[in-house]
Homo-oligomer: A and B are copies of this chain.
Amino acid sequence: MSEISPGLENVYIKYTALTYIDGEKGIMRYRGYDINELAEKSTFEKVSYLMLFGELPDSKELINFNDSINRNLRLDGYLKTILKNMPENADALGLLQTLLSAKASSEINYKYSADNDSKKVPEILGNVLSMVANICRIKTGRDIIDPEPLNDYSSTFLHACFDSFTKDQADAMNSALILYMDHEIPASTTAALVTASTLSDMYSSLASAVTALRGPLHGGAAEGAYRQFQEIGSPGNVEKWFNENIVNGKKRLVGFGHRVYRTYDPRLKTFKKYAEMLSVTPEQKNILEIAKKLEMLGVEKFGKKGIYTNTDFYSGIVFNALGFPVDMFTTLFGLSRVTGILAHIMEYVETQERLIRPRAIYNGKDYREYKE
């Protein structure tokens, strides 16, 4: 009898030229470029283009790509109606999943090809920006709008969410969108690949990814880490909390450890920089102080086992400093990840396409007769 592969942990489902990860050395690259270089020096649009199409855009390609995104910022009327009528307790990712599914319902005849995909992708990036911004507006008591295109994706997004923002905030948003853009094939990207492998359209595949992102085992670490800092409450309470909850194993330290990394998560550095740069109010400084003390204790205790701070430890502090409520953090992660998921779908469907259909091993009852 064959064996099952639990969680598909050692199963390779596709080839990829997108993201290279060296978990021992703490290296991560998109198509060969170091992610911190990209996060510091490049823009979301350029890196998206790089991921989707293989090379950085020249100036004309970049203008066209931006224009296509900007032409698609206006949400369809029925999507606005849905947003307005959803129950108050609906979570942000649930709203995104619903909007993507509704949008997908007019995409039934979508045909994958390098040509169609290159037109569809900026349309989706525009629509998703608008979906997430309007979800944020609803969650913060604002009205639904059509985002106004500014110079770049991050500025357009922050402006759509909050009407105003600073240059530093736009830079931080830009870096966050780049750093979270792809990370090989976690459960959400896997779900999208299964869906796309049936040649179901791209919006459906993204909706599929979001269904997985919502699971507590997958997308919620930035939110979890931030809530942990809130629970601790003050820098003076860190050591006591750590001893009472982590040292004796009562709780897991959220934002520490990663299936892939045996050292610091390479994305951490840039998030930590922005966390320090943007924490200006007493409350923000308080949370940052808690985080830094907690990180020190965590590294002291777990570092020798190869368990270090991961990227979600500081990203929530950045998102908070940008003005987002805690229950939007995972949705922001989802917004960043859209490019990576679409790039994986294109890579899979355009070059390695095969319906994903694993098997199960029957271990149940032998034949028995049915009696009334």
Q: Is A38 an interface residue (CB 8 A)?
A: yes
**A184 and B359 form a contact (CB under 8 A):** yes
The size class of the interface chain A forms with chain B is: 35 or more
A198-B184 contact, Cβ under 8 Å, with A4-B12, A12-B3: no
B-binding segment of A261-269, A284-292, A306-314, A360-368: A360-368
- Closest Cβ–Cβ distance, residue A215 to chain B (whole Å): 2
| Chain B neighbourhood of A362, CB < 8 A | 15-17, 19-21
Q: Is A82 an interface residue (CB 8 A)?
A: yes
- Closest Cβ–Cβ distance, residue A139 to chain B (whole Å): 12
- Closest Cβ–Cβ distance, residue A42 to chain B (whole Å): 7
**B370 and A42 form a contact (CB under 8 A):** yes
CB contact between A33 and one of B33, B198, B357, B368 (< 8 Å): that residue: B368
| Chain B neighbourhood of A32, CB < 8 A | 364-368
A16-B85 contact, Cβ under 8 Å, with A355-B7, A358-B190: no
| Chain B neighbourhood of A20, CB < 8 A | 362, 364
- Closest Cβ–Cβ distance, residue A364 to chain B (whole Å): 3
| Chain B neighbourhood of A216, CB < 8 A | 198-200
Closest B residue to A82 using CB positions: B82
How far apart sit A216 and B344, CA to CA, in the bound complex (Å)?
Answer: 20
B-binding segment of A93-101, A158-166, A169-177: A93-101
| Chain B neighbourhood of A198, CB < 8 A | 187-188, 212-219
CB contact between A106 and one of B90, B213, B218 (< 8 Å): that residue: B90
**B17 and A13 form a contact (CB under 8 A):** no
| Chain B neighbourhood of A100, CB < 8 A | 101
- Closest Cβ–Cβ distance, residue A14 to chain B (whole Å): 5
A200-B186 contact, Cβ under 8 Å, with A14-B4, A86-B102, A365-B17: no
**A194 and B204 form a contact (CB under 8 A):** no
**A359 and B108 form a contact (CB under 8 A):** no
CB contact between A105 and one of B31, B97, B106, B195 (< 8 Å): that residue: B97
**A4 and B13 form a contact (CB under 8 A):** yes
A residues within 8 Å of B by Cβ? 2-21, 29, 31-34, 37-38, 41-42, 76, 78, 81-82, 85-87, 89-91, 93-95, 97-98, 100-102, 104-108, 184-188, 190-191, 194-201, 204-205, 207-208, 211-219, 259, 344, 352, 354-370, 372
Q: A5-B11, A14-B361 are in contact. List 14 more A-B contacts (CB 8 A).
A: A6-B354, A7-B354, A9-B357, A32-B364, A78-B87, A82-B102, A85-B85, A87-B106, A98-B105, A187-B197, A195-B211, A196-B215, A198-B215, A207-B207
